[in-house]
Amino acid sequence: MPYDIRPLSDTLGAEIIGLDLAQPLDDATFAAVRQAHLDHLVLVFRDQRLSPQNQVAFSSRFGPLDRHPVTDAVLPDCPDVLVLSTKRKNGAFIGLPDAGPMWHSDLAYREHPALGTMLYALETPDYGGDTGFANMYKACEALPKHLADAVAGKRAVFLAGRNNKNRSFRKGLTKVEKDETPAVTHPIIRTHPETGRQSIFASPQHAVAIEGLDERESSEILTALFDHTAQPDFIYHHKWRVGDLTFWDNRCVQHIADLSRIDDPAYIRHMHRTTIGGGPVE
């Protein structure tokens, strides 16, 4: 299958044109895709027509899948697929309409956070609903010395849904789901297990404190760190097209969804997400 890999920005991202992911990729093509993912951090496969089972099959080639803690937003007949959707049935949202309100890395609040995430666009709005992706290798390389010193060797405390309290979330974790996802700690700076490069792992949606520091100092350092990681130089904004399957590397990328039109009844954004499990953060 001939295909092209074209960079999307100077920061990160490449689009792949010409691959049909509904068909199994041969080993050489799969190896090239895997390398492109390590090189570009976010891949966008254009013009796909994927069933949930196709998406699960492709995602699973990168490792075992992880299920999201919000269990009532998954496809009943394919529970590895999380539905992100502003559509409603009988008045209720059929999936998570507002996932990713702040910069984050998926499942960072788990002992073993996600390796990568695939998000497949079935319906996209005429405008709005972009996803921002930020290159945490670049952010790490550009850390001012005083901040690099302040976070060196430190671990942050990560909590599911912690920073969601200021928003009226349409679907959130139930008490049982919250109890099943207690706080964990991870290094603020991590080393990518495949590339060996360092990146910033702490992110505003889930990192609530720095272990061993008092609240004031911890909050000052995290605020400065998050101001640094959100700089435009590190960011690419993806404008979705129907048929895009994006695949980002949660080990070196943070992302955020634009939810500015979430309360507009004309705004329809409907996507299927699969999440590939990762290993320990080191």
Pairing of strands 270-277, 65-66: antiparallel
Q: Which of 257, 262, 276, 281 binds ligand SIN (CB under 6 A)?
A: 257
Minimum CB separation of residue 118 from ligand SIN in Å reads: 10
Segment near ligand SIN (CB under 6 A); pick from 54-62, 99-107, 147-155, 181-189 = 99-107
Helix H or strand E encompassing 37? helix 27-40
Six token digits for residue 20 = 């049909």
Q: Which of 33, 70, 83, 84 binds ligand SIN (CB under 6 A)?
A: 84
The residue count for binding ligand SIN (CB under 6 A) is 9
Q: Does position 43 bind ligand SIN by CB under 6 A?
A: no
Nearest to 80, CA basis, from 55, 104, 62, 49: 55
Minimum CB separation of residue 84 from ligand SIN in Å reads: 5
Pairing of strands 14-17, 270-277: unpaired
Segment near ligand SIN (CB under 6 A); pick from 18-26, 98-106, 210-218, 227-235 = 98-106
Cβ distance to ligand SIN smaller for residue 161 or 224: 161
Q: At 57, is the secondary structure helix, strand, or coil?
A: helix
Six token digits for residue 37 = 């993912």
Q: Which of 25, 99, 122, 173 binds ligand SIN (CB under 6 A)?
A: 99
> What are the CB-based long-range contacts (under 8 Å, 24+) for 167-170?
167/98, 167/101, 169/98, 170/93, 170/96, 170/97, 170/98
Cβ-closest residue to ligand SIN? 100
Backbone angles phi, psi at 215, to 5 degrees: -60, -40
Minimum CB separation of residue 217 from ligand SIN in Å reads: 29
What gap in Å lies between CA 163 and CA 140, rounded to an integer? 23
Q: Does position 131 bind ligand SIN by CB under 6 A?
A: yes
Cβ distance to ligand SIN smaller for residue 200 or 257: 257
Residues lying near ligand SIN in the complex (CB under 6 A) are found at 84, 99-100, 106, 117, 131, 255, 257, 273
